[in-house]
Amino acid sequence: MKKSAYAAAGVDIDLGNRVKATLPQLLASTRRPGVLGKVGGFGGLFAIPAGKYEEPILVSSVDGVGTKLKVAFLMNRHDTIGEDLVNHCVNDIAVLGAEPLFFLDYLGTGKLEPHVFTEIIQGFARGCSANRCALIGGETAQMPGFYQEGEYDLSGTIVGIVEKSRMLNGQRNVKRGDVVIGIESNGLHTNGYSLARRILFDKLGYRPSGRVAELGCTMGEEMLKVHRSYGPLVQSLLKRFNPLGGVASIKAFAHITGGGFVDNIPRVLPKTADVIVRKGSWEMLPIFQLLRDRGGVEELELYQVFNMGIGMVCVVAADQAASVLKAIGRARHTAWIIGEVVRGTGKTRIE
């Protein structure tokens, strides 16, 4: 059969349609109450639950996974980054107290490879299902000549909801004497990969497929560990420690992503307070020890680029810190008291 002119130019519409025909089966696990219609329309439809909220506030965020994609290309493994993206977005709205409603994705590539597409969507579906977030639509763009062969880009948009009276506002509620709890990450998550790749691959000569004894896996496997979701944990903590109509013991959360401790924690601080983060107060993961000890990067910069083993920070009233810490442990997350709130000007101090 003669190839269409568009296919000859590098855009195979028929292939795209065949690949997308598998979406209903792939996305079945992500359906939740509120989803209307089906994937593939001009717009995704979602009905806000009636009667559940008095003053519902929609919370949205958009993000990508940065140059972590380069590691996926090197490893020819594409089943993790979709889940990375969902979890990253879930965490970004969780810090406001919002639970996710729905997610939309964007995939841009030069040539659509069916197995790559399927692996990416499986990751999206896995992340959405685990976070009770519906995947209601997206866009797959074939753009020949725009990307290097075998490469693509991803981004995602999430929309969540929170009752206005329960929305977290650290700038109003955080005060001197509050305690800072750090919740463990499982690795680099989705930030700092440009520097990490330069140190680990270019400077130190690690190969993505090479096993690293202190990591217990290959370097590529370490760097593709899925960005941890804290959404369900945040919701359970807020339900217990910030009861409706009661005293709110949890003052703020900060997702430690691009900008590390230095740039992210100040986003939830009043201008009259600083947070002191005490180095050595948590068990640093081997990958961060490696970057610190052999990377040749100033230590302060490390805390502004990487999460250094802490994926989420929780600011709590001092008299409830021990109870919050225990609740986090019961939810099978590891956490430590890593600092406190002091008088200041809205900054993070690493000491």
Q: What's the rounded mean pLDDT across residues 269-295?
A: 95
Domain boundary among 131, 150, 166: 166
Could you tell me the two tokens for 5?
């002119």
CATH number assigned to the domain comprising residue 338? 3.90.650.10
Average pLDDT of the residues of the chain:
91
**Res. 23 pLDDT band, cuts 50 70 90:** low
Q: What is the pLDDT of residue 14?
A: 65
CATH number assigned to the domain comprising residue 140? 3.30.1330.10
Could you tell me the two tokens for 170?
């650290």
Q: What is the pLDDT of residue 112?
A: 83
Are 77 and 34 within one domain? yes
Residues in CB range of 222: below 8 A, 6 or more apart? 187, 212, 215, 287
202 contacts 194 by C-beta, under 8 angstroms: no
Are 293 and 194 within one domain? yes
Question: Is the pLDDT at 186 greater than 80, yes or no?
Answer: yes
Q: Which of 24-38, 148-162, 257-271 has the lowest mean pLDDT?
A: 24-38
Are 11 and 154 within one domain? yes
Handedness of CA 70, 296, 280, 97 (dihedral sign): negative
Domain boundary among 133, 166, 199: 166
C-alpha closest to that of 253 among 235, 240, 279: 235
**Res. 2 pLDDT band, cuts 50 70 90:** low
Are 128 and 274 within one domain? no
Domain count, the chain: 2
Q: Specify the DSSP class assigned to residue 11.
A: -
Q: What is the pLDDT of residue 351?
A: 94
Q: Count other Cβ atoms within 10 Å, centred on residue 337.
A: 18
Are 61 and 74 within one domain? yes
Are 115 and 204 within one domain? no
Q: What's the rounded mean pLDDT across residues 71-89?
A: 96
**Run of H or E residues at 158:** strand 152-163
Q: What is the pLDDT of residue 48?
A: 87
Could you tell me the two tokens for 118?
């399927």
Question: Is the pLDDT at 154 greater than 90, yes or no?
Answer: yes
Are 144 and 184 within one domain? no
Q: What is the pLDDT of residue 244?
A: 84
Are 261 and 339 within one domain? yes
14 contacts 7 by C-beta, under 8 angstroms: yes
Q: What is the pLDDT of residue 42?
A: 78
Q: How far, in Å, CA of 31 to CA of 38, rounded?
A: 10
Are 53 and 185 within one domain? no
CA distance to 9, 185, 301, 302, 307, per residue, from 182 (Å): 51, 9, 19, 17, 10
Q: What's the rounded mean pLDDT across residues 290-298?
A: 92
Are 157 and 175 within one domain? no
Task: Please write the tens of the pLDDT for every residue from 44-58.
Answer: 888 888 888 899 999
Question: Is the pLDDT at 114 greater than 90, yes or no?
Answer: no
Q: Which of 129-133, 143-147, 288-292 has the lowest mean pLDDT?
A: 143-147
Domain boundary among 100, 132, 166: 166
Classify burial at 20, counting beta carbons within 10 Å of its beta carbon; exposed 0-12, middle 13-18, buried 19 or more.
middle
Question: Is the pLDDT at 3 greater than 90, yes or no?
Answer: no
Are 118 and 245 within one domain? no
Q: How far, in Å, CA of 213 to CA of 226, rounded?
A: 20
CA distance to 20, 21, 179, 321, per residue, from 37 (Å): 16, 16, 46, 45
* Structural domain span for residue 275: 170-350
Question: Is the pLDDT at 252 greater than 90, yes or no?
Answer: yes
Q: Which of 9-23, 89-103, 164-178 has the lowest mean pLDDT?
A: 9-23
Could you tell me the two tokens for 316?
């709590």
Are 185 and 305 within one domain? yes
168 contacts 316 by C-beta, under 8 angstroms: no
Amino acid of residue 123: G
Q: Which of 14-18, 171-175, 217-221, 288-292 has the lowest mean pLDDT?
A: 14-18
Q: What is the pLDDT of residue 269?
A: 96
Q: For 108, left (φ over 0), alpha (ψ -120 to 50), or beta?
A: beta
**Res. 13 pLDDT band, cuts 50 70 90:** low
